[in-house]
């Protein structure tokens, strides 16, 4: 009996395996379909617009079904890595920040689509070229920026005599000192988040004339008087205007602090005002947005571009191209932008006066900021070395260390040692 | 009869063959291997392959989505020259050592308390497991609120005691941030220790305690000379597991501080992830992750030898 049951078990197990192997499989490509990878949007209506309006419209027009695959917020780099490494999983993908430069060898040249869109829709912003062109070829078609600007409380600023947002960092510092004395400190992230720290630290460094690497992409120039001045400013800015806790903040922290009415000013995407209007209308009424302040060398913003690219291992390159060309057409783009108000700021001049900017005039600084927005690491071209510097928080931690008490020279020195090691092989 | 005899002869062969296959399958040596092969293949595919691939990656200059080039031990040399890497190493050892000791002492105390008779014992024991059951990411988000100076119950308490507002910055101060993640890890890992040691405590024969009491042993002596020696093997095994889990901890730090402030809470796993996924340097990331291996391997070997001897 014992023996029979063992044998019976093996037979059954074998049968099971065989059944799985030869069982019915999904019929291969009954109708044509494309997979379009996107990270979940903070604005729900944005994803819904694609799913309910754009995808059905494309299917109706061409018969090609577009599967809009959403990854959770923050998981896009991991997902793209998996797809690029295995050579399957999506045809068209969203990219952001430095991803087009890390994955350029796996992306098709889409210069024709990008140039055509530029010609038809008013021309590209310079920052779009910075974000989309890798070694002379457009590897992605830029879609938008998600700008990082100043979010501030008009009521509290007015209490200390500021009816308008300060024009320079020094003036902002003066306002902040008064506001902190009135228990309304500032909250600018100095921790290991992703957007809200870079959103003000790089622009601050640039506006004092500091850079981490030269435009040649290999000469480390972080040790300069300009950097030292930016750090000295950041130290007093932190000490006299901010909460100590910002040193440990991540990207969620400043939103939380703003709505808890703990802070009077921060650097963030449009999401604070957007969420305020929905959930905290009283706070939203006294919230405004402004461009980053200017320093001795000008005014700067970061470019956190979202773009779309096509994987070169896609078995349906031509279908993917056709889809991306269709998506980049004014008819489709306009509606998609409008579905998220102006959370996604178009990088084509054709949209500079689009009606979506009239919906909320307080968002207009996000459009104006595009004129002086740059990718992290500017003026060096994006590279894997730059990606390493960003992932290791070299610049953020240089400022954070100084704000926490380290001497300026020491903070710069340790950043320089790290950068030289990172750029050694170039 | 003669008509039937033909097919009988013909069918006898396969029948005999089937029978001999059956006998062969029934052999202990064959059958045991047959049963062991699937899990071994499973292990090789899901543990062995990634492990070997990890070693291979760590020896290459391998940007994501590019072909790698063999560079020998260059990645490890880069790590050893990186000040952050040494910071990460120190962090990981401090984090693991303190959290493990706290969990061991606390877990033992918890188990001893839970081994007493009290009302609603079973309910309390079940509740004790909660920190272990709740998904780490979820409990970490709760801790994020607990450690936010504006909402923190600790700060509220300290301010009530006269500490100036807003009270300590738990995640902004490097030392407090490390202390905070150690406390959270301990909070999360305590039930694992507690419940395992409780199971061990319940296997201690009551006669031993009776005999010790008759010999004049007090509470402490009964614990020191009866409970502790009998629990020792279990304590060792739990510690082994706990050290491995704590050493390779990822979620807690990734969600709460992402290694900040200024890398004060950066651990091997989070640093390796940032380099591999954030910077797309798969080779360098793998080398950071692999440097965990010698320390862990030594510990595992030492503990295993100790256990076998015991």
Q: How far apart are CA B108 and CA A357, in angstroms?
A: 63
Q: Do the beta carbons of residue B257 and residue B182 sit within 8 Å?
A: no
- Residue B150 resides in a domain: yes
Please state, rounded to an integer, the average pLDDT across all residues of chain A: 92
Q: Do the beta carbons of residue B46 and residue B39 sit within 8 Å?
A: no
Q: How far is B254 from chain A, CA to nearest CA, in Å?
A: 10
**What confidence category does residue A8 fall into, taking pLDDT thresholds of 50, 70 and 90?**
low
Give DSSP secondary structure letters for chain B: -HHHHHHHHHHHHHHHHHHHHHHHHHSHHHHHHHHHHHHHHHHIIIIIHHHHHHHHHHTEE-BTTS--EE-TTHHHHHHHH-HHHHHHHHHHHHHHHHHHHHHHHHHHHHHHHHTS--TTHHHHHHHHTHHHHS-HHHHHHHHHHHTSTTT-HHHHHHHHTTPPTT---TTTSHHHHHHHHHHHHHHHHHHHHHHHHHHHHTTS-HHHHHHHHHTT--HHHHIIIIIHHHHHHHHHHHHHHHHHHHHT--HHHHHHTTT-STTTT--HHHHHHIIIIIS-BHHHHHHHHHTHHHHHHHHHHHHHHHHHH-
Is residue A69 predicted with pLDDT exceeding 70?
yes
CB A326: neighbour CB atoms within 10 A? 18
More confident residue, A54 or B166: A54
Does one domain contain both B7 and B84? no
Identify all chain A residues contacting B257, using CB atoms and an 8 Å cutoff: 191-192, 248, 250
Least confident of A27-31, A92-96, B20-24: A27-31
Both tokens assigned to B92: 């990981």
CATH 3.40.190.10 residue ranges of chain A are: 33-146+303-364, 149-302+392-422
Does one domain contain both B25 and B95? no
| Residue of B66, B151, B172 lying closest to A244 (CB–CB) | B172
pLDDT (tens digit, 9 = 90+) per residue, B265-275? 999 999 999 99
Chain B interface mutation, best of A245, A313, A399, highest count of B Cβ atoms under 10 Å: A245
Is residue B307 predicted with pLDDT exceeding 90?
no
Identify all chain A residues contacting B84, using CB atoms and an 8 Å cutoff: 392, 418
Total number of domains constituting chain B: 2
- Residue B65 resides in a domain: no
Q: How far is B257 from chain A, CA to nearest CA, in Å?
A: 6
| Residue of A102, A253, A421 lying closest to B78 (CB–CB) | A421
Q: How far is B100 from chain A, CA to nearest CA, in Å?
A: 25
Q: Is B115 exposed, middle or buried (0-12, 13-18, 19+ CB in 10 A)?
A: middle
pLDDT (tens digit, 9 = 90+) per residue, B172-201? 999 999 999 999 999 999 999 999 999 999
Q: Is A106 on the interface with B (CB under 8 A)?
A: yes
Is residue A420 predicted with pLDDT exceeding 80?
yes
Q: Do the beta carbons of residue A291 and residue A168 sit within 8 Å?
A: no
Is residue A137 predicted with pLDDT exceeding 80?
yes
pLDDT (tens digit, 9 = 90+) per residue, B53-103? 999 999 999 999 888 999 999 999 999 999 999 999 999 999 999 999 999
Is residue A39 predicted with pLDDT exceeding 90?
yes
pLDDT (tens digit, 9 = 90+) per residue, A332-363? 999 999 999 899 999 999 999 999 999 999 99
Q: Do the beta carbons of residue A201 and residue A208 sit within 8 Å?
A: no
Does one domain contain both B137 and B17? no
Asked if the ipTM is above 0.90, the reply is no
Q: Among the three residues B13, B31, B58, which one is the final residue of a domain in this structure?
A: B58
Both tokens assigned to A210: 């500091």
pLDDT of residue B152: 86
Closest to A131 in 3D by CA, of A120, A115, A117, A142: A142
Does one domain contain both B138 and B221? yes
Q: How far is B248 from chain A, CA to nearest CA, in Å?
A: 19
**What confidence category does residue B299 fall into, taking pLDDT thresholds of 50, 70 and 90?**
confident
Q: Which residue of A has its CA nearest to B27?
A: A3
Cα of B279 vs its chain's centroid, Å: 27
pLDDT of residue B8: 46
Does one domain contain both B222 and B271? yes
pLDDT (tens digit, 9 = 90+) per residue, A242-288? 999 999 999 999 999 999 999 999 999 999 999 999 999 999 999 99
Does one domain contain both B45 and B79? no
Give the predicted TM-score (pTM) of the model. 0.88
Would you call B169 and A248 a contact, using CB atoms and an 8 Å cutoff? yes
- Residue B64 resides in a domain: no
Q: How far apart are CA A103 and CA B63, in angstroms?
A: 9
Q: How far apart are CA B5 and CA A277, in angstroms?
A: 93
- Which residues pair with residue B254 across a beta bridge? none
pLDDT (tens digit, 9 = 90+) per residue, A161-188? 999 999 999 999 999 999 999 999 999 9
Identify all chain A residues contacting B258, using CB atoms and an 8 Å cutoff: 191-193, 250
More confident residue, B130 or B58: B58
**What confidence category does residue B23 fall into, taking pLDDT thresholds of 50, 70 and 90?**
confident
CATH number of the domain bearing residue B210 = 1.10.3720.10
Does one domain contain both B211 and B254? yes
Domain A149-302+392-422: CATH architecture, name and number where available:
3-Layer(aba) Sandwich (3.40)
Domain limits at B38? 2-58
Identify all chain B residues contacting A78, using CB atoms and an 8 Å cutoff: 277
- Residue B63 resides in a domain: no
- Residue B67 resides in a domain: no
| Residue spans of alpha helices (H) in A89-162 | 99-102, 111-120, 126-132, 154-159
- Residue B66 resides in a domain: no
Is residue A381 predicted with pLDDT exceeding 60?
yes
Does one domain contain both B237 and B131? yes
Query: Yes or no: is domain A33-146+303-364 CATH 3.40.190.10?
Result: yes
Q: How far apart are CA A279 and CA A29, in angstroms?
A: 45
Identify all chain B residues contacting A384, using CB atoms and an 8 Å cutoff: 63, 279-281
Chain A interface mutation, best of B181, B279, B284, highest count of A Cβ atoms under 10 Å: B279
Q: Is A88 exposed, middle or buried (0-12, 13-18, 19+ CB in 10 A)?
A: middle
pLDDT of residue A19: 47
- Residue B147 resides in a domain: yes
Q: Is A337 exposed, middle or buried (0-12, 13-18, 19+ CB in 10 A)?
A: buried
Q: Which residue of B has its CA nearest to A399?
A: B262
Is residue B243 predicted with pLDDT exceeding 50?
yes
Is residue A208 predicted with pLDDT exceeding 80?
yes
Does one domain contain both B112 and B16? no
Q: Which of 1-30 (A) contact B at CB < 8 A?
A: 3, 6-7, 10
Q: Is B262 on the interface with A (CB under 8 A)?
A: yes
Identify all chain B residues contacting A423, using CB atoms and an 8 Å cutoff: none
Within 8 A by CB and 6+ apart from A173, the residues are: A233, A236, A237, A240, A241
pLDDT (tens digit, 9 = 90+) per residue, A21-30? 444 444 444 5
pLDDT (tens digit, 9 = 90+) per residue, B131-176? 888 888 889 989 999 998 888 888 888 988 988 877 889 999 999 9
- Residue B282 resides in a domain: yes
pLDDT of residue A7: 52
Does one domain contain both B44 and B189? no
Does one domain contain both B31 and B81? no
């Amino acid at each position: 009996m014992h023996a029979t049951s063992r044998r019976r078990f093996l037979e059954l197990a074998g049968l099971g395996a065989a059944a799985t192997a030869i069982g019915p499989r999904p019929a291969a490509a009954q109708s044509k379909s494309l997979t379009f990878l996107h990270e979940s949007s903070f604005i729900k209506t944005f994803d819904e617009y694609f799913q309910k309006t754009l995808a059905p419209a494309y299917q109706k027009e061409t018969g090609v079904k577009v599967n809009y695959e959403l990854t959770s917020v923050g998981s896009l780099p991991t997902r793209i890595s998996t797809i690029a490494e295995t050579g399957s999983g999506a045809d068209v993908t969203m990219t952001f920040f430095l991803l087009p430069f890390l994955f350029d060898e796996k992306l098709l040249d889409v210069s024709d689509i990008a140039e055509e869109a530029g010609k038809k829709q008013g021309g590209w912003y310079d920052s779009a070229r910075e974000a989309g062109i890798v070694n002379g070829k457009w590897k992605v078609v830029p879609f938008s920026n998600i700008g990082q600007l100043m979010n501030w409380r008009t009521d509290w600023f007015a209490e200390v005599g500021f009816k308008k947002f300060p024009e320079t960092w020094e003036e902002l510092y003066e306002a902040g000192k008064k506001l902190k004395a009135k228990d309304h400190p500032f909250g600018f992230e100095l921790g290991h988040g992703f957007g809200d720290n870079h959103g003000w630290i790089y622009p601050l460094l640039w506006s004092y004339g500091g850079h981490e690497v030269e435009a040649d992409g290999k000469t480390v120039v972080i040790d300069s008087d300009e950097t030292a001045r930016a750090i000295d400013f950041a130290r007093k800015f932190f000490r006299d205007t901010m909460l100590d806790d910002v040193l440990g903040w991540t990207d969620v922290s400043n939103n939380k602090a703003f709505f808890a009415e703990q802070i009077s000013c921060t650097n963030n995407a449009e999401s604070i005002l957007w969420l305020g209007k929905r959930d905290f209308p009283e706070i939203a009424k006294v919230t405004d947005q402004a461009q980053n302040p200017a320093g001795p060398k000008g005014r700067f913003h970061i470019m956190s571009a979202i773009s779309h690219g096509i994987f070169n291992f896609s078995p349906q390159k031509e279908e993917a191209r056709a889809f991306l060309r269709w998506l980049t057409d004014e008819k489709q783009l306009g509606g998609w932008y409008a579905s998220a108000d102006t959370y996604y700021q178009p990088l084509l001049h054709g949209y500079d006066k689009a009606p979506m900017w009239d919906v909320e005039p307080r968002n207009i600084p996000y459009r104006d900021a595009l004129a002086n927005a740059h990718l992290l690491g500017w003026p060096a071209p994006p590279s894997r070395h730059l990606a390493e510097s960003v992932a290791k928080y070299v610049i953020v931690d240089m400022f954070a260390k100084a704000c926490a008490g380290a001497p300026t020279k020491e903070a710069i020195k340790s950043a320089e040692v790290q950068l030289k090691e990172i750029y050694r092989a170039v | 009869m003669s008509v039937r005899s033909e097919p009988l002869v013909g069918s006898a062969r396969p029948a005999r063959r089937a029978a001999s296959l059956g006998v062969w399958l029934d052999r202990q040596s064959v059958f045991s291997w047959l049963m062991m092969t699937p899990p071994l293949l499973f292990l090789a595919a899901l543990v062995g392959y990634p492990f070997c691939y990890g070693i291979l990656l760590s020896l290459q200059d391998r940007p994501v989505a590019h072909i790698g080039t063999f560079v020998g031990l260059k990645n490890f040399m880069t790590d050893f020259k990186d000040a952050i890497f040494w910071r990460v190493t120190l962090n990981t050892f401090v984090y693991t050592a303190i959290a493990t000791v706290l969990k061991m002492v606390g877990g033992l105390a918890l188990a001893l308390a839970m081994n007493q008779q009290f009302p609603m014992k079973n309910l309390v024991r079940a509740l004790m497991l909660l920190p272990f059951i709740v998904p780490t990411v979820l409990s970490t988000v709760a801790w994020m609120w607990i450690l936010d100076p504006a909402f923190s119950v600790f700060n509220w308490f300290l301010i009530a005691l006269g500490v100036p507002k807003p009270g300590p910055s738990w995640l902004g101060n490097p030392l407090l941030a490390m202390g905070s993640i150690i406390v959270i890890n301990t909070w999360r890992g305590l039930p694992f220790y507690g419940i395992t040691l409780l199971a061990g405590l319940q296997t201690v024969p009551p006669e031993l305690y009776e005999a010790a009491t008759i010999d004049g042993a007090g509470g402490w002596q009964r614990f020191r000379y009866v409970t502790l020696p009998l629990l020792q093997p279990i304590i060792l095994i739990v510690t082994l597991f706990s050290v491995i889990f704590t050493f390779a901890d990822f979620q807690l730090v990734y969600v709460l501080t992402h290694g900040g402030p200024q890398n004060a809470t950066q651990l091997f796993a989070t640093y390796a992830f940032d380099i591999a996924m954030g910077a797309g340097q798969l080779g360098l990331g793998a080398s950071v992750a692999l440097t965990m291996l010698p320390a862990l391997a030594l510990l595992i070997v030492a503990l295993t030898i100790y256990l076998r001897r015991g």
